[in-house]
Chains A and B, each alone.
Chain A
Amino acid sequence: MEHKRITLFAGHYGSGKTNIAVNYTLALKARRDMVMLADLDIVNPYYRAKDSARELEEKGIRVISSFFANSNVDLPALPQEIYAITDDRRWACVLDVGGDDRGALALGRLVPAIREENDYEMLLVINRFRPLTRDAESVMEVVSEIEAACRLPFTGIVNNSNLGAETTAEDILGSLRYAEEVSRLSGLPIAMTTIEEKLMPALQGKIENLFPMKLQKRPTE
């Protein structure tokens, strides 16, 4: 798993960024020390990276998240600690960016330093089963809106096409053409195709750069 110092996951609202960011962070921690996950989501009130904070912190991963995430306070604020992402280059950082251009706006303040260091990967998360990004043309609209909002260009694509728990191996295989079309229109390479772990036996060897994941759930008491 080659990686840049900063890996950002951005894309359309509800495309699966948080789930991927958490799984990617866990995979990264298995390879190296000093890994941090930063939850930059200022859009979602719940179902956030902070839901997985305990699991991540038990594995020694540093989690940066709004003090108000998952609380009763609806405040789109980010903690000052986020400057550690660009100030402290010892850490490998995974950034979970909020959905659409509205979410990507929060990234703006970090972008000059990220550009200057130039050791980042900004991945576009796409899901063919989301109604507003069902074809490559609609994805391209989202791409230009996000890039305009955060002033950072994407470098690759994560094909996260899924129907939640109902996803079949055929759904994934059927999404490959869609991902290739997005790749063709955007000129971006497909960095990975994500699948739920249970689909691994059915798909292993059939798709390049498969990334198996566990579905992160909201902890119940």
Chain B
Amino acid sequence: MAEKVLMKGNEAIAEAALMAGCRHYFGYPITPQTELTAYMAKRLPKMDGVFLQAESELAAINMVIGVSAAGKRVMTSSSSPGISLKGEGLSYLAGCDLPAFVVNVQRGGPGLGGIQPSQSDYFQATRGTHGDYRTIVLAPDSVQEMVSLTIKGFELADKYRMTAMLLADGTLGQMMEPVSLDQGEIVTFEKPWAANGTKMQRPNNIINSLSLIPEELEQWNLTRFKRYDIVEQNEVMYEEYMMEDAEICLVSFGITARVSKNAIAEARAKGIKAGMIRPITLWPFPKKPLLAAAQKVKAFVTVEMNMGQMIEDVELATRCLKPVISCTRCGGVIPSPNDVMAAIDKACEIGGAAK
């Protein structure tokens, strides 16, 4: 195995994208993801790639649409307010059935908010902007996972012709950890649909999200959603942590899952049987393991850096069979293991678990 290197999360995403074969990056700097843009600016020109700091986020996402239509692996990255600006383009990508890899290193909001970390774009990432469409949302909890999920993201985007979004937060983007860049074979796909020149040997490929006929537009949506069904069946990723005997099930993603693991150790030391289901794909959401857990555990605790967004998906997935306690901090504040421990205590009381 290759020797490890020490990387910031933002740099690790950039390096992994290069490993995945991405040679086109379009973006606009914004804290706390700017290292990603800076890394691409340094590396891509040396690899015969294209780095372009666009005049705006709107321009950047439309450049992504163009390169994707030409059949190349392409990405953009930003932080919360910048992703909002890219929202229109994300919907156009979906309407055109184009693959793209998009990174959101979240900061506190709403509005201009702040530059400290948050997870408050969960709704935006999993629900998207206008129109009926889905985005594959990947939530890493370490710099190492930022590498593996970036490579996976490019693969899934091409496989299903849709956007894969890496949803990180400022802490993961800024923190440094040792990583292995040895990630095995890169999976690529033929793109017979790409608008990359007919060479006078085939009809034109037309890439378009506009339809003048309602029935036709409906059919496009139905076809697209059949593909989404396959994604939901095949691509759910999650981690089960100390769930064998758990009475309290924490549900958390990204950096707060790490805080939760510390809290679980503390709870176990006090005799509380706590475990965790960590969604790695936020869409498709791990509904089945959560519903199965709801048959066994006494209560759930969701831990997020927002006002409580993923909790809605947990309540839906578990059909509200058991109480769900929300543990949240927001505005750029990370919940402490004590915050999580207090929520676990509350869940024990409400759910009737042994303490």
Chain A residues engaging chain B, CB cutoff 8 angstroms? 13-14, 44-47, 72-74, 102, 127, 129-132, 134, 162-166, 220-221
Closest to A163 in B: B178
- Complex CA distance for A81 and B43, rounded to whole angstroms: 37
Contact residues, B90-119 vs A (CB, 8 A): 108, 113-116
Is A46 touching B178 in the complex (CB atoms < 8 A)? Answer: no
The one of A14, A46, A127, A132 that contacts B170, using a Cβ cutoff of 8 Å: A46
Is A163 touching B6 in the complex (CB atoms < 8 A)? Answer: yes
- Complex CA distance for A69 and B11, rounded to whole angstroms: 22
Indicate whether A131 sits within 8 Å of B115 (C-beta atoms), given known contacts A45-B32, A46-B32. Answer: no
Residues on B with C-beta less than 8 A from A162 are 6
Is there a chain A Cβ closer than 8 Å to B334's Cβ? yes
- Complex CA distance for A45 and B174, rounded to whole angstroms: 8
Is B114 touching A72 in the complex (CB atoms < 8 A)? Answer: yes
Is there a chain A Cβ closer than 8 Å to B35's Cβ? yes
Closest to B175 in A: A47
- Complex CA distance for A72 and B175, rounded to whole angstroms: 17
Is there a chain A Cβ closer than 8 Å to B7's Cβ? yes
Residues on B with C-beta less than 8 A from A44 are 174
Is A166 touching B178 in the complex (CB atoms < 8 A)? Answer: yes
The one of B3, B42, B108, B116 that contacts A132, using a Cβ cutoff of 8 Å: B42
Residues on A with C-beta less than 8 A from B8 are 14
Is B174 touching A129 in the complex (CB atoms < 8 A)? Answer: no
Interface centre among A45, A73, A127, A164 (most CB of B within 10 A): A45
Is B6 touching A221 in the complex (CB atoms < 8 A)? Answer: no
Closest to A141 in B: B42
Q: Shortest beta-carbon distance, B303 to chain A, in Å?
A: 15
Closest to B5 in A: A131
Residues on A with C-beta less than 8 A from B114 are 72
Residues on A with C-beta less than 8 A from B181 are 131
Residues on A with C-beta less than 8 A from B6 are 14, 127, 129-130, 162-164
In the complex, the 6 A-B pairs of residues with the closest C-beta atoms, listed nearest first: A72-B114, A163-B178, A129-B6, A131-B5, A74-B31, A45-B31
Residues on A with C-beta less than 8 A from B115 are 45-46, 72-74
Residues on A with C-beta less than 8 A from B113 are 72
Is there a chain A Cβ closer than 8 Å to B44's Cβ? no
Is A72 touching B5 in the complex (CB atoms < 8 A)? Answer: no
Q: Tell me if A's interface is mostly helix, strand, loop or mixed.
A: loop
Is there a chain A Cβ closer than 8 Å to B15's Cβ? yes
Is there a chain A Cβ closer than 8 Å to B317's Cβ? no
Q: Shortest beta-carbon distance, A216 to chain B, in Å?
A: 12
Residues on A with C-beta less than 8 A from B177 are 164
Indicate whether A164 sits within 8 Å of B174 (C-beta atoms), given known contacts A72-B332, A127-B6. Answer: no
For this complex, 5 residue pairs linking A to B, each with C-beta atoms less than 8 Å apart, are A47-B174, A73-B115, A129-B5, A130-B5, A164-B6
Additional pairs, 20, CB under 8 Å, beyond known A72-B114, A72-B115, A127-B6 = A13-B38, A45-B31, A45-B32, A45-B170, A45-B174, A46-B170, A46-B174, A47-B174, A72-B108, A102-B38, A129-B4, A130-B6, A130-B7, A131-B7, A134-B5, A162-B6, A163-B6, A164-B6, A164-B177, A221-B336
Contact residues, B302-346 vs A (CB, 8 A): 332, 334, 336
Is A13 touching B5 in the complex (CB atoms < 8 A)? Answer: no
Residues on B with C-beta less than 8 A from A14 are 6-8, 11, 176
Q: Shortest beta-carbon distance, B150 to chain A, in Å?
A: 15
Is A220 touching B334 in the complex (CB atoms < 8 A)? Answer: yes
Is A163 touching B174 in the complex (CB atoms < 8 A)? Answer: no
Q: Shortest beta-carbon distance, B80 to chain A, in Å?
A: 13
Is A163 touching B32 in the complex (CB atoms < 8 A)? Answer: no
Residues on B with C-beta less than 8 A from A13 are 35, 38
Q: Could you give, for residues 8-41 of chain B, a 1 whenever the CB lies within 8 Å of some chain A CB and a 0 otherwise?
A: 1001000100000000000000011001001100
Residues on B with C-beta less than 8 A from A163 are 4-6, 178
Closest to B259 in A: A220
Q: Shortest beta-carbon distance, B105 to chain A, in Å?
A: 11
- Complex CA distance for A172 and B59, rounded to whole angstroms: 46
Is B5 touching A46 in the complex (CB atoms < 8 A)? Answer: no
Residues on A with C-beta less than 8 A from B176 are 14, 164
Contact residues, B61-111 vs A (CB, 8 A): 108
Residues on B with C-beta less than 8 A from A127 are 6
Residues on A with C-beta less than 8 A from B116 are 46, 72
Residues on A with C-beta less than 8 A from B35 are 13
Q: Shortest beta-carbon distance, A39 to chain B, in Å?
A: 16
Interface centre among A46, A74, A165, A220 (most CB of B within 10 A): A46
Residues on A with C-beta less than 8 A from B178 are 129, 163-166
Q: Shortest beta-carbon distance, B40 to chain A, in Å?
A: 12
Residues on B with C-beta less than 8 A from A165 are 178
Closest to A44 in B: B174
- Complex CA distance for A72 and B170, rounded to whole angstroms: 12
Residues on B with C-beta less than 8 A from A221 are 336
Residues on A with C-beta less than 8 A from B11 are 14, 131
- Complex CA distance for A62 and B113, rounded to whole angstroms: 31
Residues on A with C-beta less than 8 A from B3 are 129
Residues on B with C-beta less than 8 A from A131 are 5, 7, 11, 15, 181
